[in-house]
């Protein structure tokens, strides 16, 4: 960035006038809506004016242009001022601002990507900076382009640990194309923020995290212009001392006004007072970007060759994931991998070994890792795969939930699922992950049962919109599919079948192999079962399950290395509910487990081959008795 040149008086006045127009628009919109956060908007008016009409470079009529500077409003409740900016710039009609929060308007209460100028949904506080870090990392290391990333945070959300995970990430990777602006307006929702106006403490914290930190008067357009013009070889934090409700007489810096629109009469009077300060109605135009972001194509990514496994060979699906991802990396140079310091357990290290420049180590900060993935995937710049133990994604559930609201296309792989991991004990066992990901509206949940299925899941996930979750296991199990086996989302596989089958058993991962072992044992006693591998738990192949259940007198047994709640059993029950003559018996982990050997734990929780044998015999005898 060139050295700072002080803007002339005319420009400075135009920026002040713009800030006041943004205040007026935010007040009008929230008063018309009867709800919203005008005071949170007013504290940021000068920041937004200088950012969008002096500092940032972007094409107004092409908000998602790959070369544009990026902006993330982490304090998402200040959405009306973001909308006001885009109306001021000419992308939105001024009249549309008065439809704020209406069911037929795109201008929702918090930013969402239905708006062309919004890359990530915000409003769950503390998440914007992580996404901004992902965008900045992509700009610096993958696109190698000149666009910069700006993120506006409120001081209230600086109590969120996820903010400091992102601060640490940006500091470590020296993301000098990233600027965070702290709108330190002193007041939170129900109380003052803990540090109030002690801006020097924020500065020390930022510096400790490896940032260049500048304290400014957040209502001085000249100080803001100067601060934004400083370029360093590290990320920049602009700590702006502001006042909540700035410009609203009787409300400025007063408590109990958070999230309250001004009553109509009061709004009219305040708007008049602010309007009187505006000297010129002339609008400023933003500078255009340098168009140096490369053209990227992430569609239809195919594995360079089929799988090369042998039936009967033993492979852990977690290792097959690493092999598959490394292979996929050769198909498209926009495939990237992220991990949280578990790469030698999830086997994402195999990707790192072959594609070191496209691997992002996020360290032990899973919430931030998900946000980084979301940021990297914005504007279709990358195909991101993030991995850790399945259980550690539970701490990032809010980030995953917000990723769905952000219409993000990210792929998450959770290894070490269930009690089958053995001796490490319950803190490391993913037993809630299926439940969690099934609850996410845009999620596809893959649960591959062998190495071939895992490789296909990785390839399919790379080409599937929404959140993809791949559940992988620690134990080594035999390969059961041929390398040319075809897999599809929502299509189950009937892996064992005969005309004499009495019960349909549905298992996945380790429990599918337990079911096959149970079938072998039962066959010796002339009891035959049908075994189904669902492949995806969401969507579930209802048609295949029902067809096979009907062929086995309506009897289904589900067996899973997961808690009862929200897992395969409940998914199957939901699929067959209301179907006459169908009964489902669910075998699952019934309470908090403990350390032990894998086989001992499968036995203890009644999800091993012996438990399946027993359940099948009970089901078969019940029907004989009924007959």
User: Which residues are catalytic, by number?
Assistant: 366
Q: How far is Cα 516 from Cα 559, in angstroms, rounded to an integer?
A: 12
Q: What is the dihedral of CA 114, 115, 120, 125, to 10 degrees?
A: -100
CB burial readout 554-571, b (16+ within 10 A) else e:
bbbbbbbbbbbebbbbbb
Q: How far is Cα 303 from Cα 399, in angstroms, rounded to an integer?
A: 29
Q: Is 2 exposed, middle or buried (0-12, 13-18, 19+ CB in 10 A)?
A: exposed
Element (H, E) at 625: helix 609-626
Cα dist from 68 to 52, 111, 235, 398, whole Å = 12, 18, 19, 28
Query: What angle do the packed helices 542-551 and 568-576 form, to 10 degrees?
Result: 80
Q: Is 388 exposed, middle or buried (0-12, 13-18, 19+ CB in 10 A)?
A: buried
Q: Is 604 exposed, middle or buried (0-12, 13-18, 19+ CB in 10 A)?
A: middle
Q: How far is Cα 70 from Cα 113, in angstroms, rounded to an integer?
A: 13
Q: What's the angle, vertex CA 396, arms to CA 593 and CA 561, rounded to 5?
A: 30
Phi-psi region of 600 (alpha: psi -120 to 50; beta: other; left: phi over 0): alpha
CB neighbour list of residue 323: distance below 8 Å, 6 or more residues apart:
347, 350, 451, 455
Span between the terminal Cα atoms of the chain, in Å: 83
Element (H, E) at 185: none
Looking at the DSSP bridge assignments, the partners of residue 182 are: 153, 239
**Contact by Cβ (8 Å): 364, 389:** no
Element (H, E) at 627: none
| Helical ranges in 481-597 per DSSP H | 510-523, 542-551, 568-576
What three-state secondary structure class fits 411? Answer: strand
Q: Indicate the pairing of strand 443-446 with strand 536-538.
A: antiparallel
Per-residue 3-state assignment (H helix, E strand, C coil) for 241-280: ECCCCCCCCCCCCCCCCCCCCCCHHHHHHHHHHHHCCCCC
Cβ count within 10 A of residue 533: 27
């Amino acid at each position: 960035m060139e050295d700072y040149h002080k803007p002339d008086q005319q420009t400075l006045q135009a920026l002040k006038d713009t800030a006041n127009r943004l205040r007026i628009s935010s007040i009008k919109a929230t008063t018309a809506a009867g709800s919203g956060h005008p005071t949170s908007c007013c504290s940021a008016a000068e920041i937004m004016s200088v950012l969008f009409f002096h500092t940032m470079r972007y094409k107004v009529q092409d908000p998602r242009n790959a070369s544009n500077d990026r902006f993330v409003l982490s304090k998402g409740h200040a959405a009306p001022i973001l909308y006001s900016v885009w109306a001021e710039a000419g992308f939105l009609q001024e009249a549309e601002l008065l439809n704020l929060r209406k069911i037929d308007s795109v201008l929702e209460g918090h930013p969402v990507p239905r708006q062309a100028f919004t890359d990530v949904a915000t409003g769950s506080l503390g998440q914007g900076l992580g996404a901004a870090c992902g965008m900045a990392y992509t700009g610096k290391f993958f696109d190698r382009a000149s666009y910069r990333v700006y993120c506006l945070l409120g001081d209230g959300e600086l109590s969120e640990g996820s903010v400091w995970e992102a601060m640490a990430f940006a500091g470590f990777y020296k993301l000098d194309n990233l600027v965070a602006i702290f709108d330190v307006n002193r007041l939170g929702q129900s109380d003052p923020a803990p540090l109030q106006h002690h801006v020097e403490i924020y500065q020390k914290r930022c510096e400790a995290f490896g940032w260049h930190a500048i304290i400014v008067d957040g209502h001085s357009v000249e100080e803001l212009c100067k601060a934004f013009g400083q370029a360093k070889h590290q990320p920049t934090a602009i700590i702006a001392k502001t006042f909540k409700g700035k410009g609203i007489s009787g409300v400025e810096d007063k408590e109990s006004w958070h999230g309250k629109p001004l009553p109509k009469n009061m709004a009219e009077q305040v708007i008049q007072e602010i309007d009187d300060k505006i000297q010129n109605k002339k609008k400023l135009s933003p500078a255009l970007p340098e168009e140096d972001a490369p053209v990227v194509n992430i569609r239809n990514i195919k594995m360079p060759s089929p799988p090369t496994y042998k039936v009967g060979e033993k492979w852990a699906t977690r290792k097959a994931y690493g092999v598959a991802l490394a292979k996929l990396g050769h198909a498209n140079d926009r495939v990237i991998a992220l991990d949280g310091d578990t790469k030698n357990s999830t086997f994402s290290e195999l990707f790192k070994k072959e594609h070191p420049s496209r691997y992002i180590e996020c360290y032990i900060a899973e919430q931030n890792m998900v946000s980084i993935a979301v940021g990297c995937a914005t504007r279709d710049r990358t195909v991101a795969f993030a991995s850790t133990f399945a259980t550690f994604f539970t701490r990032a559930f809010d980030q995953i939930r917000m990723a769905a609201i952000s219409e993000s296309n990210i792929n998450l792989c959770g290894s070490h699922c269930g009690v089958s991991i053995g001796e490490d004990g319950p803190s490391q066992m993913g037993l809630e992950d299926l439940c969690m990901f099934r609850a996410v509206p845009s999620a596809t949940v893959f649960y591959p049962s062998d190495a071939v299925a895992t490789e296909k899941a990785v390839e399919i996930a790379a080409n599937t919109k929404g959140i993809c979750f791949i559940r992988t296991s620690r134990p080594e199990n035999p390969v059961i599919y041929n390398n040319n086996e075809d897999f599809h989302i929502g299509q189950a596989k009937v892996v064992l079948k005969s005309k004499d089958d009495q019960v349909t058993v549905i298992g996945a991962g380790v429990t599918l192999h337990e079911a096959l072992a149970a079938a072998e044992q039962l066959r010796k006693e002339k009891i035959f079962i049908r075994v189904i591998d669902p492949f995806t738990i969401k969507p579930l192949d209802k048609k295949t399950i029902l067809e096979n259940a009907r062929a086995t007198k309506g009897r289904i047994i589900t067996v899973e290395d997961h808690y009862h709640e929200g897992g395969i059993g409940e998914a199957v029950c939901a699929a067959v509910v209301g179907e006459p003559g169908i009964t489902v018996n669910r075998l699952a982990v019934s309470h908090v487990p403990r350390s032990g050997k894998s086989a001992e734990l499968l036995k203890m929780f009644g999800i091993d081959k012996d438990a399946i044998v027993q359940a099948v015999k009970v089901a078969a005898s019940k029907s004989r008795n009924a007959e």
